[in-house]
Amino acid sequence: MDTLVAQFLVGPSNTASVDAIGGNRTLEIVAPRADITSVQVTGAGTLSHGQTTNGGGMSTATWDDNTSGLGGVDLTDGGFDIGLRVEILSIDVNAVTLQFMITDTLAQVSTLTLPGLTVGSNDVLFTGFTGSANFTIVDKIVFKITAETDSDLEIDFIETLKEVQIAEPPVLVMTVGLAGGMLLLRRRR
């Protein structure tokens, strides 16, 4: 039951890494002009996307084992993982939109668009995706950043989100109360 973590490790646009899902990740910048968008992977493994005052643009990170496909990675980890967490270090709120596109080994696709995110942990459930991809046989993950003019984003990591099961306090209190009541009745007899 391991959590899959996608860190943006330092390197060229296509980087082999044991820490990347599928062993590789590819970064691509799409901008109308070269002086508009900058994408940088820092020494600490964070991803920084910036737009100048000259216009908006986008960048993508793709996990697909260097275009050969992930071969059916189970993002749910047998049902123990229920979504994704995007840890944002800084963002120009409402000026940056993130999007995930998940493709399974049957070429079925699911997408999720995330506008208006804030600094900190941003959790999204797999049930929030639109489409028909099977998250237990994932072949490709595309993460797209679209940013408006003069906006910035820095991401620490993206990881799968574990389901946390917590005993309901009212149920626990009721159970203890019933057991105590039964003992009290027994003593009175």
Report yes or no: 152 and 90 within 8 Å, Cβ to Cβ: yes
Q: Is the pLDDT of residue 162 over 60?
A: yes
Q: Domain with 97 in it: what CATH number?
A: 2.60.120
Q: Is the pLDDT of residue 69 over 70?
A: yes
Rg, Å, the chain Cα set: 22
Write down the pLDDT at residue 133: 98
Structural domain containing residue 113: 5-188
Total domains, the chain: 1
Mean pLDDT of the region 138-158: 91
Question: What's the burial of 148, exposed, middle or buried (CB within 10 Å: 0-12/13-18/19+)?
Answer: middle
User: What is the value of pTM for the model shown?
Assistant: 0.75
Q: Is the pLDDT of residue 145 over 80?
A: yes
Write down the pLDDT at residue 166: 45
Report yes or no: 138 and 111 within 8 Å, Cβ to Cβ: no
Mean pLDDT of the region 134-158: 92
